[in-house]
Structure 1
Amino acid sequence: MEIHHVTLEECHRASGVVVVIDVLRAFTTAAFAFEAGAAQILMAETVSEALELSERFPGALLLGEVDGLPIPGFDFGNSPSRLAGVDLTGKTLIQRTSAGVQGVVRSRNADHLFAASFVTAQATVEALKRLLPPAVTFVITGVLGERDGDEDLACAEYMARLLAGDRPDPEPYLERVALSYSGRLFSGDVHSDFPAADLACAMQLDRFPRALEVHRRDGLLVLTPQGSFG
């Protein structure tokens, strides 16, 4: 199996099986939302698109950020830890983020599209193995400006090892999350919008047993835990 890594600038060319990775924090947050009972998450490229979708889907909740910061008028920021204890049973969420969601939107040529982070790493690998693809492309969404994206690259490299049949020690890969440019933003609760609890959530390896898969439906990009899309 061939493994390819691309950035947000390149993922529009990726085809076949594509895994969009955003450890800090989009697809960690999405997994926690599903644990809280969310039924589906609609991906929105822009804030205005998210607001338009909220009008089309009465009762849907808005989730996301711009440049890491909560969006005025949205129900939630892009924080997994702040979804703890929230009941989202049966809810549709609409997510807009600066990295992960952009990777999903731009990976328009993918035949199979997954959204992943460390909390769904093993589940995503098992889903990929069932497809038996000749190649997998990982989209490293965290490479933005001065951000090195190493938290996402570490996740991709860890999953690639699992796909190869190896049993790597996960600790060195998880340590890279905390040491990455983005990871350091969450050190010590210096900024209330980047709580250390979010970093801890992102490093909970394999907390969730189901891969998160993106489906295209009626012009929408719909994220659900694998097996729940009807």
Structure 2
Amino acid sequence: MSGAVFVDLDGAAADDAVVVIDVLRAFTTVPWALHRGAGRVLAVDTPERAFALREQHVPDAVLAGEQGGKPLDGFDLGNSPSDVATWDFAGRPFVHRTTAGTQGLVRCQDSPVLLAASFVTAAATARALRSARVSRVTYVVTGASLGRDGDEDLACAELIAARVAGNDPDPRPFLERVACSDAGRTFGGDGPAWLPQIDVDLAREVDRFDVALFARPVIELEAVELVGG
């Protein structure tokens, strides 16, 4: 592999190979949903699309997501991995809408190689990229939006890129940046109950899941499906 390119959410667009990063919390949450038995994962860009999917196509879907971190009215779950980790989905579809992560997927959905990632899937993501034998990867640092620094996502992208290049850096300095990022500092303490400290802890469980999240558009549903591989 000859190189890596890092862009923010505003710069997200289809490319030959794209990894959309959202550590806090979208793509830490999705692997937990799959682990807890979600039958399929469908990412969408608006709450309205999520409701329409459930009404018209997947009536047994669990709706999960947020706006500005806050759980959406009428959804079953927010975007909290600690909440999702307690559910038994029993094969039900997981329809996911977030402010950053799912937006990046929708914007990049026409990419021939498209993955979603966080620290919990970092090793599997790097392995998938090496297997794809792409010459360059664009990493979408979705946290670098809405005035945030996105350093938790940049740290994850840098770790994955290093591993793709054949290096094996100590992950601890990368993980330390999660709690120190703009987003990380909003969790726990006197913050709202829907931003619990445990979500930051779960987001730092590097390589917790040995699964890469491959994404593909599902045109008839106006959604992007994530499949573990």
TM bracket (short chain): over 0.9
Q: Superposition pairs for residues 188-207 of structure 1, below 5 Å?
A: 188=189, 190-207=191-208
Q: Superposition pairs for residues 51-130 of structure 1, below 5 Å?
A: 51-55=51-55, 56-130=57-131
For 1:109 and 1:5, locate their aligned partners in 2 and report how far apart those are by CA, in whole Å. 18
Query: Amino acid of the residue matched to residue 7 of structure 1?
Result: D
* Candidates 211, 223, 226, aligned match of 1:223: 226
TM-score normalised over the length of structure 1: 0.95
* 8 Å CA contact 1:16, 1:109 repeated in 2: no
For 1:83 and 1:189, locate their aligned partners in 2 and report how far apart those are by CA, in whole Å. 23
1:91 positional shift? 1.3
Query: Amino acid of the residue matched to residue 37 of structure 1?
Result: G
What are the Cα deviations for residues 177-199 of structure 1, in whole angstroms up to 9, with x where unaligned?
01000000114363201000100
For 2:82 and 2:48, locate their aligned partners in 1 and report how far apart those are by CA, in whole Å. 26
**How many residues end up aligned between the 2 structures?**
225
Q: Secondary structure at the match of 2:64?
A: strand
Query: Amino acid of the residue matched to residue 75 of structure 1?
Result: D
**Structure 2 residue aligned with 1:212:** 213
Query: Amino acid of the residue matched to residue 47 of structure 1?
Result: P
* 8 Å CA contact 1:189, 1:196 repeated in 2: no
Q: Secondary structure at the match of 1:215?
A: strand
**Structure 2 residue aligned with 1:20:** 20
Q: Secondary structure at the match of 1:157?
A: helix
* 8 Å CA contact 1:189, 1:195 repeated in 2: no
Name structure 1 gaps, 5 residues minimum: none
42-51 or 81-90, which deviates more: 81-90
For 1:118 and 1:184, locate their aligned partners in 2 and report how far apart those are by CA, in whole Å. 18
**Structure 1 residue aligned with 2:39:** 39
**Structure 1 residue aligned with 2:149:** 148
**Structure 1 residue aligned with 2:174:** 173
For 2:177 and 2:192, locate their aligned partners in 1 and report how far apart those are by CA, in whole Å. 21
For 1:72 and 1:106, locate their aligned partners in 2 and report how far apart those are by CA, in whole Å. 24
Query: Amino acid of the residue matched to residue 122 of structure 1?
Result: A
* 8 Å CA contact 2:17, 2:136 repeated in 1: yes
Name structure 2 gaps, 5 residues minimum: none
* 8 Å CA contact 2:62, 2:76 repeated in 1: yes
1:218 positional shift? 3.7
For 1:50 and 1:30, locate their aligned partners in 2 and report how far apart those are by CA, in whole Å. 16
Percent pairwise identity: 47
* 8 Å CA contact 2:22, 2:28 repeated in 1: yes
For 2:73 and 2:159, locate their aligned partners in 1 and report how far apart those are by CA, in whole Å. 36
